[in-house]
Amino acid sequence: MPPRPSADSACAAVAQLACHPIHPSPLFAKTFNPDACCIIRQHASLTSDVSMTDHDQLSRFLLPAAGVRGVHVRLTKAWDDIQGAAEYPPAARQLLGEAAVAAALFTGHSKVHGRLSLQLRGNDTLRTLFAECTAAGTLRGIVQLADGVDAPTDLRELGDAALLAITIENPGLDPREPQRYQSLVGMQAPDLAEAFETYFQQSEQLPTRLLLAAGPDQAAGLLLQKLPGDEGDNDGWTRIGALFDTLGAPELLSVAGQDLLHRLFHEEEPQLLGSKPLSFGCSCSRERVASMLQSLGEEEARAAAETTGEVEVRCEFCGREYHFPLTALDVLFSAAQPSREAPERLQ
């Protein structure tokens, strides 16, 4: 590992995420709905443990002399749970881990009172990448690929039509109508971190640096951002950028948060501003699955139950299974029960 320099070095000027209120963007309003990740199937599948360890944590910190704030995220058990509901090939697994970390990082520096999601829609190879973190610190994510392929290692292979959407969903005055803010990022970068940095740079807000990493057992990320105004000394941002440039993915993955901050920034006397635990969590429920079946219609639901005498629905986020025998379908579609619209979000 190269020594931590104290001399100036060039660093990219990047800016804070800019979001705009929407009635979801026409480009992504129907692109991905977690409803699609509850699938009717006939075979048993995994269930997911939602416990966590002390390593699953988001930490916010300040480098006061340099006028820089930061967020660090490291996932172990939560990452194992996120990837536990499916067998992902290597590149797709890495992409999912980086997206989950990025979603958590952004909740650490944006005003998120509900949930923040990242969604990448690619080509026929990578159909959807989706990761979400709630204000409470629960994470989930999924990758949908064409059969028998892996995600590209260079995201530019997805083509000019690929878009990355960042969506913040906060509670509204009417609980049935949350407030949504969405930004779209064109995918002209080889990886997610550079795509976000390019977007930040184009938004011409606050300079920001971002590093994301994911392996089989850990996923981690570090975000640094210049404080607004004239806080910090004149060369603080350049100095911090030089230290940041010495950090690589192996060190980011292997070193715990406080130890990593000490290694990188001990001369800057980092101040911890707070931390919160992170864990895997999925909000799917039998009621929401029932609403989904009602939206499909009685004929289609009963057709799915013809072979085994029941409808079996599996959530692809967590692996949980829901069983609806014919008697349950009778109740669900009985004339006495008022019809319900399917929920906007299944989970």
Render each residue's pLDDT in the chain as its tens digit; 347 residues.
Answer: 444 433 233 222 222 333 333 333 334 444 455 555 665 544 333 233 333 334 899 999 999 999 999 999 999 999 999 998 889 999 999 999 999 999 999 999 788 999 999 999 888 889 999 999 999 999 999 999 999 999 999 999 998 889 999 999 998 877 778 899 999 888 889 999 999 887 777 765 788 999 999 999 999 999 999 998 877 788 999 999 999 999 999 999 999 988 999 999 999 999 999 999 999 999 899 999 999 999 889 999 999 998 899 999 999 899 899 999 999 999 999 843 554 444 444 34
Same domain, 305 and 254: no
Q: What is the pLDDT of residue 165?
A: 93
Q: Which token pair is 66? A: 């340099």
Tally the domains of the chain.
Answer: 2
Strands (E), the chain: 20-22, 38-40, 57-63, 68-75, 115-121, 126-134, 138-145, 163-170, 179-186, 208-214, 219-226, 271-277, 279-280, 310-315, 321-325
Residue 242 lies in a domain: yes
Question: Distances from the Cα of 66 to the Cαs of 155, 241, 270, in angstroms?
Answer: 34, 10, 10
Same domain membership, residue 292 and residue 269: no
Classify residue 7: in a domain, yes or no.
no
Write the CATH number for 338: 3.90.1280.10
Residue 346 domain-assigned (yes or no): yes
Residues spanned by the domain of 305: 33-48+283-347
Cβ-based neighbour number of residue 92 at 10 Å? 22
Cβ-Cβ contacts under 8 Å for 197 (sequence gap 6 or more): 12, 14, 189, 208, 209, 210
* End position of a domain, from candidates 228, 261, 280: 280
Same domain, 155 and 259: yes
Residue 71 sits in the same domain as residue 44: no
CATH number at residue 231: 3.55.30.10
Contact (Cβ atoms closer than 8 angstroms) between residue 96 and residue 83:
yes
Residue 328, SS3 per DSSP: helix
Half-sphere exposure of 282 (CA within 13 A, CB side): 30
Are 309 and 213 in the same domain?
no
Q: Are residues 107 and 187 in the same domain?
A: yes
For residue 339 the two structure tokens come to 């019809």
Token pair recorded at residue 78: 């939560």
Query: 293 and 182, same structural domain?
Result: no
Number of other residues whose CB lies within 10 A of the CB of residue 80? 19
Q: Residue 266 and residue 346: Cα distance in Å, rounded?
A: 45
Q: For residue 15, tell me if it sits in a domain.
A: no
CA 178, 184, 190, 194 torsion-angle sign: negative
CA-angle at 115, arms to 53 and 212, nearest 5°: 60
